[in-house]
Amino acid sequence: KRQPFYYFMLDVQKKHAERGKRYSLREMPEIASPLWANMGSAEKKKYEEMAKYMNKQDSSTGSLKTCHGLDFEVLEKEQRVEASKEKMMKEDVRQIIKQALLKNDLARKNFFLIHVNYFCKSNGGNSQPRYDAAELAILEFSLQDGLGRGMHTIMKLDSLPYGYMYEAKTHTSATHDLPLPPDTLGTIRIREAVVEVIKFVNCNDSDICSPIFTFDDHIPVVRSVFQEVMESLRSSAPMDFRIYSLSELLFHLKNATHEHAVTTATSPPFASVFLAESYLERGTFDYAEGLPCEIHVENDRVPYCSQTKIRGWAYSIIRSCAPDLGIEFVEGKHEPECALPTPQIKILDDASDFTATEFSDRHSNYRPMTAGSSLNLNNTVDSVATSYKDEFPMIRDIRRGKGRGNLL
């Protein structure tokens, strides 16, 4: 028989999963026990009644059902699959950092960050959450070169799922405050945007994209948006896209730079992934000049802009890790212009291989990866923004070309 605590564990596990943190049932007792111990009898009653009800169910089928009629064995199998994916993700991130160290290329290793704002969250056809994208931004950066290529777009959407207008109004008014469908400001649909993102990160013409990192509780949003687009492109070759935890990346990256520091480290490594996540949650650069797009400057929602998010994350990671490698900061690349300077310890030039260099064309320009794109693409700005008027080029403004990785 299942005890009330078991159902409480499942509830806590589900809430963590909605925030992008997935734990196996083996890990849940340690997480849920302190919460259960502090609960009153009135709070526990819900789970006691659930256990009583479920234990009375007819067991002739040999399996228990949830209150929604779902088979517990199927549910637990899905949870094991998710836990396995989580484990593989963590190992993959460790290997990425390890390989960069072996190649002595950690400072020059490029990482991709992504953020997607959405209008509302609804139920998809497979009982999974579905998100209607409102804005998308992606950025490439490295510790040595700072901010590199980037793309940004506001989405075009004709309508919302039936019955979700109130939820969309509530969510958007509390966050990005972009106009709701059918009055959206964008000209690019999410399908076209995701295709351009795949081209942006898939520089080797392989079926495996480079990992894309986002904040932990935002992983389900990005994965859902990508998965929906991939399912609509079934005629295309299968694509393995990896949406990974940003705090997991920072945790291992900071440990690596601290361990291989060429000078006295300005800050200690993070004791856990949760502390790395807390560091990113600070929003140190939420109001820094030059991060948001012009639309969010005008509607006074700068911290919620997708450009603000990814640039702020990149600057935060660079501020934490780059000083360990003796990298000299350049305004607009390693930190926002007009920002308070990051404390740095000066070292001799011959004591470090990690001296900031001028951006190469690879970091200053981008063209779509194929000439077969159906987008109508025009000239864009020629560098990463140093003010809100120099925001990332809109995806609709990117023109076709033979080269890759060049902003026009």
Q: How far is CA 156 from CA 119, 124, 133, 188, 233, in A?
A: 11, 20, 9, 5, 19
Residue spans per domain, the chain = 4-81, 104-397
* CATH superfamily, domain at 104-397: Ribonuclease H-like superfamily/Ribonuclease H (3.30.420.10)
Q: What would the two tokens of residue 279 be?
A: 């560091």
> What was the pLDDT predicted at 167?
92
pTM to 2 decimal places: 0.69
Number of Cβ atoms within 10 Å of the Cβ of 87 = 12
Burial class (CB in 10 A: 0-12, 13-18, 19+), 260: middle
Q: What would the two tokens of residue 57 be?
A: 């169910």
Cα(391)–Cα(291) distance, integer angstroms: 7
> What was the pLDDT predicted at 221?
95
Cα(256)–Cα(272) distance, integer angstroms: 14
Rg from Cα positions in the chain = 23
pLDDT in tens, the chain (408 residues): 778 888 898 889 888 887 777 777 777 888 889 899 999 988 898 898 888 887 776 454 556 666 655 677 777 887 888 888 889 999 999 999 999 999 999 999 999 999 999 999 988 766 678 999 999 999 999 999 999 999 999 999 999 988 899 999 999 999 999 999 999 999 999 999 998 998 898 755 556 778 999 999 999 999 999 988 888 876 454 566 899 999 999 999 999 999 988 877 678 999 999 999 999 999 899 999 889 999 999 999 999 999 999 999 999 999 999 999 999 999 999 999 876 665 555 444 444 443 333 333 333 333 333 333 333 323 333 333 333 445 555 555 544 443 333 332
Closest CA to 160 of 178, 180, 142, 138: 180
Please name the residues in contact with 175: beta carbons below 8 A apart, sequence gap of 6 or more: 117, 301, 304
> What was the pLDDT predicted at 356?
34
> What was the pLDDT predicted at 352?
40
Angle at 244 between CA 180 and CA 260, to 5 degrees: 135
> What was the pLDDT predicted at 83?
85
